[in-house]
Amino acid sequence: MTILNIISLKMEINNSFLSFKQTLVSNTAYGLVKLTKNKIGYFVGCTIAKFAKNIYDATSKVFNNLNIEFEVFGEKQCCGMPLIISGYEEKMKEHAKTVINNIIEKKIPLIVTSCPACYRAFSEYYPKILNSNLPFKTYHFTQFIHKIIKEKRLNIKKTLTMKVTYHDPCELGRYSKIYEEPRTIIKSIPSINLVELEFNREKSTCCGGGGLLKATFPQVAVEIAKEKIETEIIPLNVNAIITACPFCYLNLRDGIREREDSLEIYNIEEILALAIGGKNNGKNR
C-alpha cells in the first residue's frame, strides 16, 4: 500500500490527518540543514508559473547556489486560494487534498513557496479546512532564506550599490506577520541601502493587486499601484522597489510601466540571485 493510499484511507476513516501520526518527517526534530539535505519542494504556484517566470528562474539560481536539490510543484496546480477569495470555500477541501497528496506521495518533508497566497493556503487554510497539521513543513521563501542566513550558509559575492525600498505584501505582512525576514535578507546584501516607506510593516498600504481586484476591475488595481508609486515611492528617490509576492510584483510592475518610470522592480528572489552572482545575471523578463 502506498503512502498516498494510507493517507486517503486514514482520511476516509477519520476525515482528518490527525490520525496519521506517523508523519513523514517530524517538523521539529530536524533543523534546516538536515531538511535541506533531502530534496525539498518548491511550490511555484500558478501565477509565477504563468506570469512571472523570472521569479522562478531567480529562485532556482538561489537554490542551485545553495546546493539545494528541489522538486517543483504547483506549476499546473493552483493552491486553491482563488476559491477562498472568490467565495467558493466549500470547494477548497477536495482541492487541498489533491495538492497535499501530490506532495506527500513524493515524500517531500519541506515546501518552500514564493507566493504569499500559496503560503497562506498551506499554513493557514489547509490545516483549518482539513482540521489537521500537514505532514510536511511550509516556509515562505523569505522565511527559508532567513533561516539559511542564520545558519551562515548564504554566500553573497557581489555588492549591489543601490537605494531600495521594500513593499510589504498584505498577505505576507498583515495576514502572515512576516515583516523582518525579507528585510534581513535585503540588508544582508553588501552596499544595498534599504529605506522604509512611510507606511511599512502592519501599516503598509495595498498595491492594488490583491483580493481578485486585478481580475474584476483591473484598471482600478493598476491605478492603486500608480497612486502608491506616486505618493509613497517616488518621494523616497529609490532605484528599485523590492517585494515578495507575485501579485504585488505584477501589479506594481504594471504601474511602473504605465507611468513610464525608470524605477526597477524586483521580487526578493531576483535581488538575491543578482547578489549571489553566477551566470545569467540579467533580469529575465
Map residues 123-162 to x or -, x wherever contact with another protein holds by CB under 8 A: ----------------------------------------
Rounded CA-CA distance 242/264 in Å is 9
Answer for which of 82, 106, 193, 264 binds another protein (CB under 8 A) is: 82
Q: Binding to another protein (CB under 8 A): which residues in 222-241?
A: 223-224, 227-228, 231
Q: Which is nearer to another protein, 58 or 213 (CB)?
A: 213
- Among residues 4, 9, 72, 215, which is the contact residue for another protein, using CB under 8 A? 215
> Candidates 5-13, 156-164, 205-213, 260-268 — which segment interacts with another protein by CB under 8 A?
205-213
Does residue number 88 form part of the binding site for another protein (CB under 8 A)? yes
Residue 231 · residue 274 · CB < 8 Å: no
Shortest gap between Cβ of 100 and another protein (angstroms)?
14
What minimum distance in Å lies between the beta carbon of 203 and another protein? 7
Binding to another protein, residues 10-49 (CB under 8 A): 46-47, 49
Q: Per CB under 8 A, does 174 bind another protein? A: yes
Number of residues that bind another protein (CB under 8 A): 45
Residue 77 in the binding site for another protein (CB under 8 A): yes
Contact residues: another protein, CB under 8 A: 46-47, 49-51, 76-78, 80, 82-91, 95, 170, 174-175, 202-206, 208-213, 215-217, 219-221, 223-224, 227-228, 231
